[in-house]
């Protein structure tokens, strides 16, 4: 299998993480290689990660010329890699999909497409890119949707039901697991977090759709109400990554400094050791207005962390049963978010039970081993009969 994705380790994306952990879960049962774009020009053009060959095409996301040239180089690399693969597996929809889909058809290779992103990977949005883009989308032999919402959009676009499968993201539940009391205390000491002070955690890109500034505003309301947790943001904040608005972090820093609270708002750069932050925090917040099957939310829930998310139909409301294994709040409602955080941070017993139920949800439905079996089933479905 040749996995084609927009980012791969050590660069961070949900799709790239899924490719890596599923390839590991299927080690010995399927052979994978990876073709990816990369924003860091220092990364090697050919690498081996976890026994998987990774080919990279560097692209400057702010340059149209660079993106156009990247498409040409991507085709060249795909040609080199395709001879040794039986199936091409595309992740997400972007400029790469048209040339890779054309190549798959010319070479007679089956094509699997995983849709990851609401508002971007939906058939209705792809159609707006033009007829060639929509042809590339419809040419996939099998479409895997990470959320029911994406699956519904495919059926609304008259994609045959037999070609659409719900295949949620998976989590390595051995790595993302709850910390015992002693482990949690040790983690907090190592991170420099005061043990008695609660911590509210955000993990994700600083984009407008992720709404980290909404969380900051709710956090300020929470402090005004007498509950004073530390706020920790983990994720990319500057240019060079897709969709990031660097003014968001700048404004949060500026306003925290004006309130003399800059020591209470921590900014952590993107990290591959994100599990330690989930395991050490008190509550996780996903304030996004656009998600499909958010991996950060699944990872938080797997760690037994009480989690709060924007209510998004066919996405977060599939993962969270409000009041049972997490909490949901209306989009952009910072007052409601602040109120929910206050409830969680002032009722330890209820928060602990909510986190335990969250862990049970992930173990039952979103363990990476289930995702791996679903991918393998898809490959067997489209593989040429011998």
Widest Cα–Cα separation across the chain: 69
Answer whether 126's CB lies under 8 Å from 40's CB: no
Residue pLDDT, tens place only, 206-217: 999 999 999 999
Give the pLDDT score at 341: 98
Q: Which domains does the chain have, with CATH numbers?
A: 2-170+367-382 (3.40.50.2000), 181-365 (3.40.50.2000)
Phi and psi torsions of 142, nearest 5°: -150, 135
Give the pLDDT score at 239: 61
Give the pLDDT score at 87: 95
Q: Could you write out the DSSP letters of every residue in 138-194?
A: HT-SEEEESSHHHHHHHHHTT--GGGEEE----B-TTTS-PPPHHHHHHHHHHHT--
Answer whether 206's CB lies under 8 Å from 213's CB: no
Give the pLDDT score at 367: 98
Give the pLDDT score at 240: 59
Residue pLDDT, tens place only, 36-60: 999 899 999 999 999 999 999 998 8
Mean pLDDT by 10 residues, the chain (386 residues): 95 94 96 93 95 92 76 82 88 91 92 95 94 95 97 95 97 97 94 94 95 98 94 85 84 96 94 96 97 97 98 97 98 98 97 98 98 98 84
Distance CA 111, CA 100 (A): 9
pTM of the full structure = 0.94
Distance CA 73, CA 301 (A): 39
With CA atoms as reference, report the closest residue to 300 among 330, 333, 269, 278: 278
Distance CA 26, CA 47 (A): 20
């Amino acid at each position: 299998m040749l996995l084609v994705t927009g980012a791969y380790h050590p660069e961070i994306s949900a799709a790239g993480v899924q490719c890596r952990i599923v390839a590991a879960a299927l080690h010995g049962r399927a052979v994978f290689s990876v073709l990816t774009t990369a924003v860091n020009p220092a990364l090697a053009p050919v690498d081996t990660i976890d026994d998987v060959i990774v080919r990279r095409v560097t692209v400057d996301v702010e340059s149209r010329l660079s993106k156009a040239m990247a498409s040409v180089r991507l085709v060249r690399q795909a040609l080199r890699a395709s001879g040794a693969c039986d199936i091409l597996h595309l992740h997400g929809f972007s400029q790469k999909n048209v040339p890779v889909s054309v190549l798959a058809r010319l070479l007679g290779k089956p094509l699997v497409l995983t849709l990851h992103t609401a508002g971007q990977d939906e058939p209705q949005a792809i159609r707006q890119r033009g007829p060639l883009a929509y042809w590339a989308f419809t040419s996939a032999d099998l479409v895997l949707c990470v959320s029911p919402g994406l699956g519904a959009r495919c059926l609304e676009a008259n994609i045959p039901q037999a070609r659409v499968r719900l295949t949620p993201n998976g989590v390595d539940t051995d790595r993302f697991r709850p910390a015992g009391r002693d482990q949690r205390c040790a983690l907090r000491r190592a991170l420099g977090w005061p043990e008695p002070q609660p911590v509210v955690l955000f993990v994700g890109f600083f984009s407008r759709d992720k709404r980290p500034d909404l969380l900051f505003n709710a956090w300020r309301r929470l402090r005004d109400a007498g509950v004073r947790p530390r706020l920790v943001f983990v994720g990319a904040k500057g240019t060079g990554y897709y969709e990031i608005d660097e003014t968001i972090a700048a404004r949060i820093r500026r306003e925290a400094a004006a309130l003399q609270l800059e020591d209470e708002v921590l900014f952590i750069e993107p990290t591959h050791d994100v599990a330690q932050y989930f395991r050490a925090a008190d509550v996780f917040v996903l304030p996004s207005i656009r998600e499909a099957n958010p991996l950060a939310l699944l990872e938080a829930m797997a760690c037994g962390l009480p989690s709060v998310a924007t209510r998004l139909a066919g996405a977060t409301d599939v993962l969270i049963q409000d009041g049972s294994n997490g909490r949901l709040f209306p989009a952009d409602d910072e007052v409601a978010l602040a109120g929910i955080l206050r409830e969680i941070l002032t009722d330890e017993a209820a928060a602990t039970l909510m986190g335990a139920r969250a862990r049970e949800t992930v173990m039952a439905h979103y363990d990476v081993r289930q995702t791996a079996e679903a991918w393998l089933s898809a490959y067997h479905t489209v593989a040429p009969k011998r």
